[in-house]
Structure 1
Amino acid sequence: MNVQEAVLRRRDLLLASIALAIVPTPVRGAVAKAERVVSLDYGLASTMLALGVTPTAVVALRNWDEWVVEPRMPAGVIDLGTTAEINLEVLTSIEPSLILSTPFLAALDEKLSEFAPIMTFTIYAEGGDALDRSYAETLRLGATLGRSDEAKALLAGADAFFERLRERLYRLSAPPVAVINFLDQRHARIYGGPGLYGGTMRRIGLRNGWTGQASYWGFETIGLEQLASLDEETHLIAVEPLIPRDVLSRLQESALWTGLPFAQKHRVSTIPGVLMFGMVQEAMRFGALVVDTLEAAHR
């Protein structure tokens, strides 16, 4: 058994164990009435679209284009407001057949269960890898929506897609990569651990330049001075939106920043926004953007 076969076998075993641990509670009528499904989570809404089902409503829809970017949400989907202030009048008018949620939003269950059954999907939690969980929960969502074949096809396509990215990186002899979101001119989130970005990097064979801690959400908040611990060959990738927008130009005036190896070697790139708390589609998009960026920078 070669290394790649071993990795895939381990992943399949993990998926099987996750699936057994999260056997869903049956939701009566969910498949039959999939046309009125509400999502409280961007990743679940994105996965619905990939399976050929358009959600009736999504929370915080007005921010979708900024944080998810792709896929585009079809016209006519209703904005439910924020999770902190869901528009209950709109929810009543929709008469949803099913509400998709996550453990992070469990405090809403009691109130929202008056409107429709709630089905909880676990992607980000202790003791698991977000990408592995995304695979397992995509199969659950597909079964719930009557789209099991589409879910299996999506995951088979994702496997093939990740393998092509791995092959491109192998030909490139890619350097280690550190991925950040700027929070301001002095702080950032840096990604790794069991989160979606970190899992995607491992899946495509890309070494993470950040070897420090990361929560199950997949990031650690750091001061920019901590970037000095990165491997000298690391390529830094910042995910948009940049906060503040001119942060990179401002940092050119910082002796700390300009003294860091990646800044001195001009190994700093930005990529468009990718939902960091997403699922399989977001992992594919993130992987493609990173590999495209490295190919352009290291030819």
Structure 2
Amino acid sequence: MPRPKLHRRALLAGLIAAAGLPRAVPAAAPFPRRIACFDYALAETLLLLGVEPVAVMSAADWPTWTGEPPLPPGVADLGASQEPNLERLAAIRPDLILSTDYTAMVEPAAARIAPVERLSIYGAASDPLPRAREVTLALGDMLGLAHRAADAVAGVDAQMAALRDRLPPNPPPLLMVAFMDTRHARVFGRASLFGNAVEQIGLRNAYPGEVNPWGFATVGVEELAPFADAFLLSIDPAPADTWPTLARSPLWTELPFVREGRVRRLAPVLTFGAMSSAARCARLVTEALAEQAA
């Protein structure tokens, strides 16, 4: 059974009790500001709200997988997402810990250090981008930043609308992938963050197949052959030998979109990100389409 959500009133009551303050003055309790994150998408959302997390899981790997926004240099690294460094977390003394369904197994131990709030974007029985909007607004309310959260959501939607106006005429369907190795790739379907992002700016995702709760299917390179008219966009990073090996592979070089030069690599975008990642994805795709049209 999922643990019940810790709503703002309960969270504030816990903070007041921990501080030894009388319950008669809950309005005087501060909103949490020292926030640790067990999830990149939630850390990204905090940054969108102008709040720097004090600690993030696998902070050292953030530049590799995220690209932007940069993680502030003072953010502590809590180690691997499934095995957090609880001693470091306790030493940091956060006011609040943000978790997801994916990191639920560490919540009981983490809850002995600070209140835990679970906010899941993926696997929540809804498309990731609408869910990311909901999480952004929920975090804004929880942190006393409701107006800032509403402005952030409106700002991202405005960016997407502006990108839609910049698209070249008659753009091709998109095949969005991330290579796992030289023979296999994750291909992102409509129910992925990338699929949601390109659809919002008026583009069509070429992949119609079933995907997992994270929005992708793992396929062999040969399974990309049916999408002859697609424009393939490969999101970095890929293993170092991927592109040199593909360049020598008849299986790859004979694919129609490869022969006709409809392949572009994109800079890293957080695959399982939130609103900032969706906007970054849409911008990079728009730029790639403009280069292709030129």
TM over 0.5: yes
CA drift of 1:47 comes to 1.1
- The residue that corresponds to 1:280 in the other structure is 275
For the structure 1 residues 120 and 163, does the alpha-carbon distance in structure 2 shift closer, same or farther, using more than 3 Å as the test? Answer: same
Q: How many residues were matched structurally?
A: 275
State the superposition RMSD in angstroms: 1.6
- The residue that corresponds to 2:230 in the other structure is 234
Alignment partners' CA distance in 1, 2:125 and 2:60:
33
Which consecutive residues of structure 1, in runs of 5 or more, have no partner in the other structure? 1-21
Deviations 1:226-260 (A, max 9, x none): 00121x221101111121x2422321222221111
Alignment partners' CA distance in 2, 1:24 and 1:266:
51
- The residue that corresponds to 2:134 in the other structure is 136
- The residue that corresponds to 1:189 in the other structure is 186
- The residue that corresponds to 1:14 in the other structure is none
- The residue that corresponds to 1:162 in the other structure is 160
- Is residue 220 from structure 1 mapped to residue 217 from structure 2 by the alignment? yes
- The residue that corresponds to 1:120 in the other structure is 118
- The residue that corresponds to 2:11 in the other structure is 28
CA drift of 1:88 comes to 1.5
- The residue that corresponds to 1:61 in the other structure is 59
- The residue that corresponds to 1:293 in the other structure is 288
* 1:187–1:221 contact (8 Å) kept in structure 2: yes
* 1:237–1:270 contact (8 Å) kept in structure 2: yes
Deviations 1:120-167 (A, max 9, x none): 112111521100000011000111111111110011111111111222
Alignment partners' CA distance in 1, 2:282 and 2:190:
16
| DSSP-derived class of the 1:180 partner | strand
Query: Rg bigger for which structure?
Result: 2
Q: % of aligned pairs identical?
A: 38
CA drift of 1:28 comes to 2.4
Residue from 245, 248, 256 that aligns with 2:251:
256
Alignment partners' CA distance in 1, 2:262 and 2:225:
14
TM-score, normalised to structure 2's length? 0.89
* 1:177–1:237 contact (8 Å) kept in structure 2: yes
- The residue that corresponds to 1:265 in the other structure is 260
TM-score, normalised to structure 1's length? 0.88
Alignment partners' CA distance in 2, 1:123 and 1:50:
16
- The residue that corresponds to 1:205 in the other structure is 202
Which consecutive residues of structure 2, in runs of 5 or more, have no partner in the other structure? 16-28
Give structure 1 regions of 4+ aligned residues with deviation exceeding 6 angstroms: none
* 1:98–1:118 contact (8 Å) kept in structure 2: yes
Query: Which amino acid is the alignment partner of residue 100 of structure 2?
Result: T
Alignment partners' CA distance in 1, 2:226 and 2:244:
22
1:65-80 aligned at under 5 Å gives the runs 65-80=63-78
For the structure 1 residues 273 and 200, does the alpha-carbon distance in structure 2 shift closer, same or farther, using more than 3 Å as the test? Answer: same
Farther off after superposition, 199-208 or 247-256? 247-256
Query: Which amino acid is the alignment partner of residue 271 of structure 2?
Result: M
